[in-house]
Structures are given as C-alpha cells and as structure tokens.
C-alpha cells in the first residue's frame, strides 16, 4: 500500500494520524493529552501519531483502524518524543506528507 512517490528521507520521523480532511503540505497543530477517555486542556509538544517507517507502514496502517476520522495522513517532522500510549509518537511541527481516504465499510 505504500505509495512509491513517498520520499522516506525527507523527515527524521514519521507517523500515521487519522483525521478529517488533511491537506498535503499542511503543518498540524499540537494535539492534546487525553486522560481516561477525556480530552484535557494540556497541549502536547506536537502532533500525536502512530509511529511508522517505510518497513512498518502496513502494520501501522492496520493499527489505525481503532481511530475515528475520514482519512489517514502520513505526517513527518524533525523532532519527536514518545507518547503515553504504546506505539505513539508526538511529532513537533508535523507536516502532512500524504493522505489516503478511509472507507467506512472496509478496513486496511
């Protein structure tokens, strides 16, 4: 499923983020910390995503099925820290690199 036109050397770190209507080239706002299923007012140091690399793309894409949103965005950035959840990264000044539309009837 990895698009052949993705240059995996552009950014140091990559992640997958499920969201509505992302735009390639868009810089994303920071995410917020969630506690017990509720969003808090605590802003993170970047955008939360599922950690991904070229070799783990398909597995990470499958794990995105548990998130709400109409699209899956590949995001990239130069600074990253690990999030609180397993496989989560927080990418500072994350940029949307590629976008795939999700089907409501099919999983990846």
| Top-confidence residue, 88 or 105 | 88
102 DSSP 8-state letter:
P
Domain spans of the chain? 13-101
Output the CA angle 52-60-45, nearest 5 degrees.
Answer: 50
Structure confidence by residue, pLDDT tens digits, 19-77: 999 999 999 999 999 888 889 999 999 999 999 999 998 888 888 887 889 999 999 99
d(CA 45, CA 92): 6
Per-residue model confidence (pLDDT) at position 61: 86
The answer to whether the CB of 47 falls within 8 A of the CB of 40 is no
For residue 71, how many C-alpha atoms fall within 13 Å in the half-sphere facing its CB? 15
Per-residue model confidence (pLDDT) at position 105: 36
């Amino acid at each position: 499923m990895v698009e052949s036109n993705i240059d995996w050397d552009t950014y140091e770190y990559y992640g997958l983020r499920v969201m509505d209507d992302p735009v390639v080239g868009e810089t994303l706002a920071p995410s917020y910390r969630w506690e017990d299923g509720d969003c808090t007012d605590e802003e993170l140091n970047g955008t939360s995503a599922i950690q991904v690399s070229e070799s783990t793309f398909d597995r990470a894409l499958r794990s995105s099925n548990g998130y709400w949103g109409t699209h899956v965005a590949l995001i990239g950035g130069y600074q990253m820290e690990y999030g609180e959840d397993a496989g989560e990264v927080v990418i500072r000044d994350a940029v949307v690199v590629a976008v795939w539309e999700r089907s409501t009837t099919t999983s990846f």
